[in-house]
Chains A and B, each alone.
Chain A
């Protein structure tokens, strides 16, 4: 019990951050018209590719001789970046269509 207590105290800031981010995420999305569900899903998906930051940090702190880690992390970075870049580009393409139409109309 005291271990859990200690853990909570040690990571106080982290836990606050978690709490507020969850609330923020709920709040930000809570009133979206269904029109935007598809682009939003695609946009949020692109953001979830932020996991590639981990790959970058991992590659940078790995010994240059450690090919096992380097290769795996590079593949992770490659695959994850497709998610990030593809996701943002395609979301942009979808949303541009909404915009184009608004200028005409």
Chain B
């Protein structure tokens, strides 16, 4: 019975994940996967176990509590904080795997009659990867949430320190096994693994956090698979490997969208290169007034909005939709150009605009947008910076060089909504701001759009 249930759940997990890779069926896919998970949990609760003591109260109480907590968190969380939330959840998954491996190792150790080397090795690997996923995810969360200290954790010779830590982990593991499980080694191992997670993420720039989270997610998947080997549970093995593989592919896809290699991301490309870029050259910027901006938009034929993280933090997506509607009532064609890595996570902008009820067909992707700009009157850039930086095309010294970007300057004019002249996430200045046909409109995205919206309605 339980074997059949596990089989069904495995099928649902795979099929659910498959459906999730197509926008039309994604929602259904998630439901399939969650049903699969539920069946797996029930089967684990009812499956016959030799010498089982059941201890059901120890199982049901934590599940009921965490399910309701998970539900509330998922309900309350702002769509803008989605990347942070995924990283926290992933960290929890990692911590859970660490606790489990630790408990399981202790259990094996207390079993004095045999010393199962294979199991201990697997558990140690699981312990290590889980720890890295845990502390790494927490640091990724801090970076995404913009805590200043999180960007300053890097030590000199960080990569050498990391390698040393890695070797000492391997060495300690051998010591631990050789001394037939002296738990002191185990505690040191856990401490170093946790530290390694911090140092692993520390040198990586905040803009690359989505890639890191995806990678750490695949780590958590691998620990789940390893624990599945120990518990001889095929669904755990399958689910874990599936997430491990899917997470890896997703990581690679994200890197491709930024035109960078995974290695380049992990070494911390943005932070370490390209400070000598020519774009330090300054020029004159022109500001646009509320009424001029409103008039310009109102009498355009085609407007493309380029949203970025600034829109997300200001929670201005609904205002954006409002302005779109005012313009459309005056027969202005409005579209949204979505860069693959706009916001803090691929697809982040789509989710936000979907929340504001923006029609799916209004969102255009990189290639389509780039052929559309030539026939566009005004491109409005809201809180985006690096994804519209011309340096990516013509300045080989720029750290952004080679990243596919939105060529907004090919439209008749551009207006950039921004809080200040400060550099974008990659830490470089944007020559677009100094171009002849560009104007700046300063302020928090929400205030700015509010001002603009009021002006538009007065026309």
Interface residues of A (CB under 8 A from B): 14, 17-18, 21-26, 28-64, 68-70, 72-102, 104-105
CB atoms of A25 and B242 under 8 A apart: yes
The answer to whether A79 and B59 touch across the interface, beta carbons within 8 angstroms, is: no
Chain A: which residue is nearest B100 at the CB level? Answer: A76
Q: In this complex, which of A36, A62, A92 has the most chain B Cβ atoms within 10 angstroms of its Cβ?
A: A36
Which secondary structure dominates where chain A touches chain B? helix
Of A22, A33, A38, A53, most buried by chain B (CB within 10 Å of CB) is A53
Q: Please name all residues of chain B whose beta carbon is closer than 8 Å to the beta carbon of A61 when the two chains form the complex.
A: 49-53
Q: Known interface pairs A38-B351, A60-B54. Does A101 touch B357 (Cβ–Cβ under 8 Å)?
A: yes
Measured CB to CB, the nearest residue on chain B to A7 is: B118
CB-contact partner of A73 in B58, B66, B249, B361, under 8 A = B58
Question: Could you tell me if A76 and B86 are in contact, using CB atoms closer than 8 angstroms?
Answer: no
Given A50-B40, A104-B359, also A58-B63 (CB < 8 A): no
| Distance between B61 CB and nearest chain A CB, rounded to angstroms | 8
Q: Which of B217-271 contact A (CB under 8 A)?
A: 217, 220-221, 223-224, 227-231, 233-250, 253-254, 257
Q: Which of B71-79, B168-176, B296-304 contacts A (4 or more CB under 8 A)?
A: B71-79
List 15 interface pairs A-B (beta carbons < 8 Å), by A numbering.
A14-B237, A25-B244, A38-B350, A41-B250, A42-B85, A44-B217, A48-B93, A50-B228, A57-B47, A60-B49, A72-B103, A73-B100, A86-B69, A86-B70, A98-B360
CB distance from B243 to the nearest CB of A (A): 4
Residues of A within 8 A of B181 (CB): none
Identify B243's interface contact among A44, A74, A99, CB under 8 A. Answer: A44
Chain B, residues 320-349, CB within 8 Å of chain A (1/0): the string is 000000000000000000101100011110
B27 touches A98 (CB 8 A): yes
For the complex formed, measure the closest distance between the CB of B147 and the CB atoms of chain A, giving whole angstroms.
21
The 5 closest A-B pairs by CB, nearest first: A25-B245, A86-B70, A80-B96, A85-B70, A37-B346
Residues A96 and B27 in contact in the complex (CB < 8 Å), given A59-B55, A101-B360: yes
- What A residues does B253 contact at CB under 8 A? 29, 32, 34, 37
1/0 contact string of B365-384 vs chain A (CB within 8 Å): 10000000000000000000
Would you list which residues of chain B between 16 and 57 have a CB under 8 Å from chain A? 16-18, 20-24, 26-27, 29-31, 33-34, 37, 40-41, 44-45, 47, 49-55
Cβ–Cβ contact B360 & A105, under 8 A = yes
Docked Cα-Cα span, A94 to B53, in Å, equals 40
Do most interface residues of chain B lie in helix, strand or loop, or is the interface mixed? helix
B311 in contact (CB, < 8 A): no
A residues less than 8 Å from B29 (CB atoms): 43
Given the complex of chains A and B, what is the CA–CA distance between A81 and B71 in angstroms? 11
Q: Shortest beta-carbon distance, A35 to chain B, in Å? A: 5
User: Given contacts A46-B33, A52-B96, A83-B92, is CB(A40)–CB(B354) below 8 Å?
Assistant: no
Asked whether B241 lies within 8 Å of A83 as measured between CB atoms, the reply is: no
B235 contacts across to A, CB distance below 8 A: 50, 53
Q: Give bound CA distance, A25 to B225, whole Å.
A: 13
- Do B95 and A104 have beta carbons less than 8 Å apart? no
Interface contacts beyond A34-B365, A48-B90, A51-B100: sample of 8 additional A-B pairs, CB < 8 Å, sorted by A: A25-B244, A29-B253, A31-B21, A45-B86, A75-B99, A90-B85, A94-B82, A101-B358
Tell whether, in the assembled complex, residue B99 and residue A79 are in contact, meaning their CB atoms are under 8 Å apart.
yes
Do residues A53 and B62 form an inter-chain contact, with CB atoms below 8 A?
no
Q: With CB as the reference atom, state the residue of chain B lying closest to A33.
A: B23
Which of B21, B93, B236 is the most central at the interface, judged by chain A CB atoms within 10 Å of its CB? B93
Asked if B103 contacts A105 (CB within 8 A), the reply is no
Instruction: Determine if B417 is an interface residue (Cβ-Cβ < 8 Å).
Output: no
Would A53 and B231 count as touching, CB distance under 8 A? yes
User: Given the known A-B contacts A38-B351, A54-B230, A72-B102, are A47 and B249 also in contact in the complex, defined by CB atoms under 8 Å?
Assistant: no
A29-B21 contact in complex given A34-B346, A85-B66, C-beta closer than 8 Å: yes
Q: Using Cβ atoms and an 8 Å threshold, which residues of chain A touch B27?
A: 92, 95-96, 98-99
Residues from chain B with a CB closer than 8 A to the CB of A55 are: 96, 100
B30, B51, B223, B246: the one contacting A95 at CB < 8 Å is B30
Report Cα–Cα, A43/B12, bound state, in Å: 13
Q: Which of B70, B100, B214, B239 contacts A81 (CB 8 A)?
A: B70
A83 touches B250 (CB 8 A): no
The reply to whether the CB of B440 lies closer than 8 angstroms to some CB of chain A is: no
Contact present for B245 and A29 (CB under 8 Å): yes
- The answer to whether A24 and B82 have CB atoms under 8 Å apart is no
CB <8 Å contact, A38 and B246: no
Q: Which residues of B contact A80 (CB under 8 A)?
A: 66, 92-93, 96-97, 100
Indicate whether B13 reaches chain A with its CB closer than 8 angstroms.
yes
Whether B17 contacts A29 by the Cβ 8 Å rule is yes
Whether, in the assembled complex, B149 has its beta carbon less than 8 Å from a beta carbon of chain A, the answer is no
Residues of A within 8 A of B18 (CB): 28
A36 and B23 contacting across the interface, CB-CB below 8 Å: yes
B347 CB contacts on chain A under 8 angstroms: 34-39
CB < 8 Å neighbour of B58 from A31, A38, A59, A85: A59
Q: Assess whether B44 is in contact with A53, with CB atoms less than 8 Å apart.
A: yes
Closest CB of chain A to B431's CB: distance in Å? 26
- Is there an interface contact between B231 and A97, defined as CB atoms closer than 8 Å? no
